[in-house]
Amino acid sequence: MQFRIFGCEISLSFPLVVALTVLFILDRSGSAVICCLSAFCHELGHLGMMTLFQTKVDKIRLGLFDINISDNGKYQRSLWAEICVLLAGAAANLLASGIGCAFFIFYKDVFLSSFITSNLFLAIFNLLPVEALDGGNIIYLLLLRRVRHAYAVKILEILSFAVLLPLACAGFYVLLRSKYNFTLLLTSCYLMAIILLKKTKLTK
């Protein structure tokens, strides 16, 4: 599935389209819509910061396990400019959460409350020092200033699993206690799967 927005080609993989369709059909609470809105705010933050650095995004590919942005200015930006781009996603979520809080003062609404929480969670979660997340990418860039690429990758990999394994255990505990809330467990396992999948591709 492909379409264009402001000259940027956006491509959605078939597995992602199927997964989103099933999710929207099964979800009766509206949580899927809120999560997608929060994710949209996050990516908009990245794209907005790229625009500030006069970077043109040619193509965005959304897959079930990854998001690839064709950024023609990535290697021309300075280290700190690249870190700003990575931080912009979480900043956009915090801004959206703050705006939501301002509206919530005057208009108490469950959907608005969930939107605030979702954006806040996404901002914090994306800043975790985990590979495939913005926080992990920032750690990787900083490590490259001190060590070689191979060491930076290995350190980040160890750090990622050191963070994700306790999160997965906590997610399993939450699932046992709540009987239905599997979000944290699923997200942790999903990220570990991405790291392992990436490692498998690199070793082939």
pLDDT 10s digits, 8-61:
777 888 777 787 787 777 766 667 788 888 888 998 898 888 888 887 777 778
- Phi, psi dihedrals of residue 71, rounded to the nearest 5°: -110, 105
Please, what's the b/e burial string for 159-177 (b: 16 or more CB within 10 A of its CB; e: otherwise)? bbbebbeebbeebeeebee
Q: Do 129 and 136 meet the contact criterion of CB atoms below 8 Å apart? A: yes
d(CA 146, CA 144): 5
Give me the pLDDT at residue 204, please.
Answer: 47
Tokens of 163: 């963070």
Among 154, 118, 103, 107, smallest CA distance to 42 is for 118
Burial of residue 78 (number of CB atoms within 10 Å: 0-12, 13-18, 19+): exposed
Asked whether the predicted pLDDT for residue 96 surpasses 90, the reply is yes
For residue 10, the SS3 value is: strand
Judge residue 15's burial from the number of C-beta atoms within 10 Å of its C-beta, 0-12 exposed, 13-18 middle, 19 or more buried.
Answer: exposed
Tokens describing residue 186: 């699923």
**pLDDT for 5 beyond 70:** no
Indicate the pTM of the whole model.
Answer: 0.82
Torsion region of 132: left, alpha or beta (phi above 0 gives left; psi -120 to 50 gives alpha): left
